[in-house]
Structure 1
Amino acid sequence: MRQLIALRWLAVIGQYATIQLVFSILGVPLPIVAMFAIVGGLVALNISSMIALRRGWRVGERELLIALLLDVAALTGLLYFAGGATNPFVWLFLLQVVLAAVLLRVLSACIVVSVTSAAFILLAVVHYPLMLPQHITVGLFGLYVLGSLISFALIAGLLLLFITRINYNLRSRDARLAAMRQQAAEEDHIVRMGLLASGAAHELGTPLASLSVIINDWGRMRQLTDNPALAEELEEMRVAVERCKAIVSGILMSAGDPRGGDIAITTAGAFFADALEEWRRRHGSDSLRFDNRLSTDPRIVSDSTLKQIVWNILDNGREASGNTVSVILNRKDELLTLSVIDDGPGFDRAILDNLGKPYQSTKGRRGGGLGLFLVVNAMRKMGGWVDARNDPSAGAIVTLVWPLDMLEWTED
Structure 2
Amino acid sequence: MAQSEPDVFQNNKRSNWLRMRTLLVLRWFAVAGQIGAVLAARYIYDLQLEIGLIALVIGAPVLVNVVSYFLYPENRRLTEGQADLLIGFDLLQLGLLLYLTGGLNNPFALLILAPITVASTILPLRSTLILGGTGLVIVTALWFINIPIMTQSGAPLILPDLFVFGFWLSLVIGVIFVGIYARQVTQETLSMGEALVATQMALAREQKLTDLGGVVAAAAHELGTPLATIKLVSSELIDELQDKDDLREDALLIREQADRCRDILRSMGRAGKEDNLLRYAPIETVIREACEPHMDRGKTVEFQTLPPDEGPLRQPDIFRRPEIIHGIRNLAQNAVDFASSTVRIEISWSASVISVRISDDGPGFPHSVFGRIGDPFVRSRRSGEDRRQRPGYEGMGLGLFIAKTLLERSGANLGFANGGGRALSGLRGGAIVSAEWPRAAIEATSETSRGALGENSPIT
Q: Could you say which TM-score interval applies, normalised by the shorter chain?
A: 0.3 to 0.5
Where is the helix percentage greater, Structure 1 or Structure 2? 1
* Greater relative contact order, per chain length (Cα 8 Å cut-off, separation 6+): 2
